[in-house]
């Protein structure tokens, strides 16, 4: 059934050689097409669920660590946090990349509430029960040029397509500008969640990596309030917000023994989720002419929407 549907869809090759299929207007990784359909079909959201959505390589790992710590702050003391011994992706499982990849209809009913999951799929592709229930959606995106550079390092390091020579940077960038990349076009991915946020800000929180970098304490409080667990005066006095910020910081997570070696899902190097953790790294790779072309694209795609990125 899935194979039959696949054959009717437009196909492309991502710049790293991985196959993409066009579904509901988005270039989705063919590898996960079956699991995306299963996720759509079988997942039943509970009102207490927290769904961490993001554009790939926008800081998903950070978002997982932060949300896990915020939600479980009364369960584990900071110095006993499971983050100290488990990779964030093991604590907050990806829906289409893990749970629905391993099984068509996994039993998620026994996971204690509030359940926290992650997904990269676009807003309009999410299962109806996520959009229609009272569960919360937290979306994280990032300056697309930093995202592109981050993704490039990630794919090249993990060599997902052993037998394929990836496109050179300028050709890969050209594809990116056309919106042909995993979960692309990025503008439609972001605008889907942006519009959902504008329509219902209690349901969808919209975050940018750069803003989190600028003031993480502010955003930890904002997430906690959004989820309905604001920090109490007592917790504020204890400095819990700052402790969570420190626990989840790039330096701390990167240097933890558990994140330094080994793999996520058996194939992705854990260390590859922690590279530089900086804003503006794209300037080390892309030319001013590329940036200019990109500014024009953003003007066309984001102009008048209220969403924009500084480059």
Quick one: 278 or 295, whose CB is closer to ligand A3P?
Answer: 278
CA distance 251 to 286: 26
210 binds ligand A3P (CB under 6 A): no
| β-strand pairing of 50-54 with 136-141 | parallel
Q: Cα separations (Å) of 107 from 25, 32, 211, 307?
A: 30, 19, 36, 38
- The length of the chain in residues reads 311
* CB-count burial class (<10 Å; 0-12, 13-18, 19+) for 209: buried
Q: What is the 3-state secondary structure (H, E, C) of 266-298?
A: CCEEHHHHCCCCCCCHHHHCCCHHHHHHHHHHH
Quick one: 134 or 278, whose CB is closer to ligand A3P?
Answer: 278
Quick one: 54 or 243, whose CB is closer to ligand A3P?
Answer: 54
CA distance 72 to 78: 10
Q: How far is the CB of 174 from ligand A3P (least distance, A)?
A: 21
Quick one: 40 or 63, whose CB is closer to ligand A3P?
Answer: 63
Quick one: 5 or 156, whose CB is closer to ligand A3P?
Answer: 156
Q: How far is the CB of 153 from ligand A3P (least distance, A)?
A: 6
Judged by CB under 6 A, the chain residues 110 through 169 that form the site for ligand A3P are 146, 150, 153
Q: How far is the CB of 272 from ligand A3P (least distance, A)?
A: 8
Among residues 60, 69, 118, 182, the one that binds ligand A3P under rule CB under 6 A: 60
Contact 155, 16 (CB under 8 A): yes
- Partners of residue 50 on adjacent β-strands: 116, 136
* Extended beta strands in 120-267, E state: 136-141, 204-208, 263-264
Judged by CB under 6 A, the chain residues 247 through 286 that form the site for ligand A3P are 248-250, 253, 273-277, 281
Instruction: Single out the catalytic residue among 89, 120, 181, 197.
Output: 120
120 is catalytic: yes
CA distance 190 to 200: 15
Among residues 14, 18, 35, 61, the one that binds ligand A3P under rule CB under 6 A: 61
Binding-site size for ligand A3P (CB under 6 A) equals 21
Instruction: State CA 31 to chain mean position distance.
Output: 17
| Residues making contact with ligand A3P (CB under 6 A) | 54, 56-62, 146, 150, 153, 248-250, 253, 273-277, 281
Q: List residues with catalytic annotation.
A: 120
């Amino acid at each position: 059934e899935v194979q039959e549907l696949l054959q009717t869809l437009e196909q492309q090759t991502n710049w790293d050689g991985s196959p993409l299929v066009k579904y509901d207007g988005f270039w989705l990784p063919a590898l996960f097409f079956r699991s995306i359909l299963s996720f759509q079909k079988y997942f039943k959201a509970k009102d207490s669920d927290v769904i961490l959505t993001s554009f790939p390589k926008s800081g998903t790992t950070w978002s997982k660590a932060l949300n896990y710590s915020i939600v479980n702050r009364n369960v584990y003391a900071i110095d006993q946090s499971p983050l100290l011994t488990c990779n964030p992706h093991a604590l907050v499982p990806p829906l289409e990349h893990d749970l629905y990849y391993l099984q068509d209809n996994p039993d998620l009913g026994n996971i204690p509430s509030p359940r926290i999951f992650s997904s990269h799929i676009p807003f309009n592709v999410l299962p109806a029960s996520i959009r229609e229930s009272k569960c919360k959606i937290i979306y994280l995106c990032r300056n697309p040029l930093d995202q592109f550079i981050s993704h490039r390092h990630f794919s090249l390091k993990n060599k997902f397509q052993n037998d394929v020579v990836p496109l050179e940077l300028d050709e890969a960038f050209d594809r990116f500008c056309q919106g042909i990349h995993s979960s692309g076009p990025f503008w439609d991915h972001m605008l889907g969640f942006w519009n959902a946020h504008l329509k219902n800000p209690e349901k969808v929180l919209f975050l940018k990596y750069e803003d989190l970098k600028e003031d993480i304490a502010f955003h930890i409080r904002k997430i906690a309030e959004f989820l309905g667990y604001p920090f109490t005066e007592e917790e504020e006095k204890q400095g819990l917000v700052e402790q969570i910020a420190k626990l989840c910081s790039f330096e701390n997570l990167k240097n933890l023994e558990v994140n330094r070696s080994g793999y996520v899902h058996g194939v992705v190097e854990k260390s590859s989720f922690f590279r530089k953790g900086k804003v503006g790294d794209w300037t080390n790779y892309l030319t001013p002419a590329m940036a200019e072309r990109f500014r024009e694209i953003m003007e066309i795609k984001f102009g008048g929407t209220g969403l924009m990125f500084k480059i």
